[in-house]
Amino acid sequence: MIILFQIGSSTLFELGIGAKQDAWLTVLTGMAVSFLLLMLFLGIQRREPNKSLVQILVQYLGFFGKIAAFSYVLFFAYESMRNVRDFGDLIIMSFLSRTPISLIMLIMVLLSSYAIFKGIEVFFRLSEFMLPGVLLFYSLLIIMFISSGIVHLDHLLPILENGIMSVLKVAIKETSFFPFGQMVIFLMYWHYLADKGIMAKTSIKAYFVTGLLLITTNIMNIAILGTQYTSISTVPLLQSVQLIQIADFLERFDALVILLLYAGIFVKATLWFQAAVLGFGELFNLNYKKVILPIGAAIYVSSFLEPNWIYHIWFGKVVAYNYMVNPVFILFIPLLLFIVMLVKGTAEGGKSIGERSR
């Protein structure tokens, strides 16, 4: 689930393209920086292995924790909406140009709602079933890129032309939060593990597998299209695949890319959606199945607020960076929560020692 979630809609974009040919370095740097965030999230979960993020916030931050928890529900729903809109625009641009986007997004939301209604284990097992196919298809794409002779590694040169600071700036501002920092969502799911001992090891393995895949696709896009065309491309991976031609008959693998993107976006949108539903149910002591349709309806309706793809991308960047949404929910609140947990743990430990000494 971690691998499919992090791939999600990430391959729709050329991550870190602001650093030009060093974009792949921003992904690598962002992954390294965000590894510290992953350790933070795992540290929070280890201290309360049987509670979700919403429950931990309420327990340690009281009234402010309830406000923060409700804000996370809105954050999860917002991120789900973005992925639903990503999918709608992607299908319109690539295949079904005459199909109403409202119908495409409605089908997406209904499928997600059904998956959530069937339960967490069913949805996670679906991802387990999908994963080998997704990794196999991405591997085949990379092999076909190389076999078709369209990969020009000189497009990656010169390395660090604008210095290390340009890479660090983009990595810290963007790639460390998207997609790697979004691992914060698993604070809603880790506590469901029957064997808590595998939590950290499995999560870290999946994290690095995803990072390797995203770095590779990032390199491929720049090596094939060059930085100029990559930076203005709507979906760089799709444009790269359209250039594949092997033995004059193996070509037009657009459908394969759309299938891969759909699998990733469906998993990511549904996981955000499910986290919002679970969080709302826990916060207000409701059966989560009763709030699937209301939250799903809110996600569907809000996906129409952005009139087109360009505005959708612009709005996402404004919300994420200008209004500090990503840093607040991925860094500041988890860090504050962890500090409070440490302080309370230390205070309770000192109190129990004092009681024993008396």
What's the CATH number where 256 sits? 1.20.1740.10
Distance CA 333, CA 327 (A): 9
Inform me whether the pLDDT recorded for 194 exceeds 70. yes
User: In terms of Cα–Cα distance, which of 241, 267, 262 is closest to 252?
Assistant: 241
**Contact of 93 with 309, CB cutoff 8 Å:** yes
Inform me whether the pLDDT recorded for 357 exceeds 80. no
Of 123-137, 184-198, 237-251, the least confident? 237-251
Q: What is the percentage of the chain residues whose pLDDT exceeds 90? A: 62
Model confidence band, residue 80 (pLDDT cutoffs 50, 70, 90): very high
The pLDDT of 183-191, averaged and rounded, is 96
Inform me whether the pLDDT recorded for 358 exceeds 70. no
How does pLDDT run across 122-139, given as a tens digit for each residue? 999 999 999 999 999 999
Q: What is the pTM of this model?
A: 0.93
Distance CA 117, CA 111 (A): 10
The pLDDT of 273-281, averaged and rounded, is 97
Tokens 């600071």 belong to 165
How does pLDDT run across 21-69, given as a tens digit for each residue? 999 999 999 999 999 999 999 999 999 999 999 999 999 999 999 999 9
Give the pLDDT confidence score for residue 52 in this predicted structure: 96
Give the pLDDT confidence score for residue 186 in this predicted structure: 97
73: tokens are 């529900």
User: In terms of Cα–Cα distance, which of 324, 39, 52 is closest to 200?
Assistant: 39
Give the pLDDT confidence score for residue 342 in this predicted structure: 94
Give the pLDDT confidence score for residue 220 in this predicted structure: 93
Give the pLDDT confidence score for residue 350 in this predicted structure: 55
290 by DSSP, 3-state: which?
A: helix
Distance CA 221, CA 227 (A): 9
Overall number of domains in the chain: 1
Give the pLDDT confidence score for residue 349 in this predicted structure: 60
Distance CA 110, CA 254 (A): 25
The pLDDT of 89-114, averaged and rounded, is 91
Distance CA 44, CA 239 (A): 41
Inform me whether the pLDDT recorded for 352 exceeds 70. no
Comparing 10 with 83, the larger pLDDT belongs to 83
Give the pLDDT confidence score for residue 287 in this predicted structure: 93
The pLDDT of 317-338, averaged and rounded, is 89
In terms of residue numbers, what domain contains 237?
Answer: 2-357
147: left (phi over 0), alpha (psi -120 to 50) or beta: alpha
Give the pLDDT confidence score for residue 102 in this predicted structure: 94
